[in-house]
Amino acid sequence: QYDQFVLKIVPHYRQMIDALTACLPFHSSQTLQFLDLGSGTGMVTSQLKKNFPRSNITCVDISSNMINIARQRFDGQGTIEFIEADYCGMSFESERYDAVVSSLAMHHIRSAEDKQKLFQNIFSSLRPRGLFVNADVILGSSRLLHQAYMEKWKAFMREAVSEQEINEKWLPRYYETDHPFELMKELEWLKKAGFQDIDVAWKHYTVAVYVGFKGGEREL
Domain coordinates of the chain in residue numbers? 2-213
Residuewise pLDDT in 10s, the chain (220 residues): 677 889 999 999 999 999 999 999 999 999 999 999 999 999 999 999 999 999 999 999 999 999 999 999 998 788 999 999 999 989 899 999 999 999 999 999 999 999 999 999 999 999 999 999 999 999 999 999 999 999 999 999 999 999 999 999 999 999 999 999 999 999 999 999 999 999 999 999 999 999 999 998 765 4
Instruction: Please give the pLDDT value at position 219.
Output: 57
Q: How far is CA 71 from CA 3, 39, 43, 103, in A?
A: 15, 11, 12, 18
Quote the CA–CA distance of 73 and 27 in Å, as a whole number: 24
- Could you give phi then psi for residue 30, rounded to 5 degrees? -75, 150
Instruction: Please give the pLDDT value at position 220.
Output: 46
Instruction: Please give the pLDDT value at position 2.
Output: 73
Instruction: Please give the pLDDT value at position 76.
Output: 78
Host H or E run for residue 118: helix 112-125
Instruction: Please give the pLDDT value at position 188.
Output: 98
Quote the CA–CA distance of 17 and 147 in Å, as a whole number: 25
**Is 166:5 a contact under the CB 8 Å cutoff?**
no
This prediction's pTM: 0.94
2-213 in CATH: which number? 3.40.50.150
Nearest Cα to Cα of residue 182 among 206, 201, 153: 206
Instruction: Please give the pLDDT value at position 98.
Output: 98
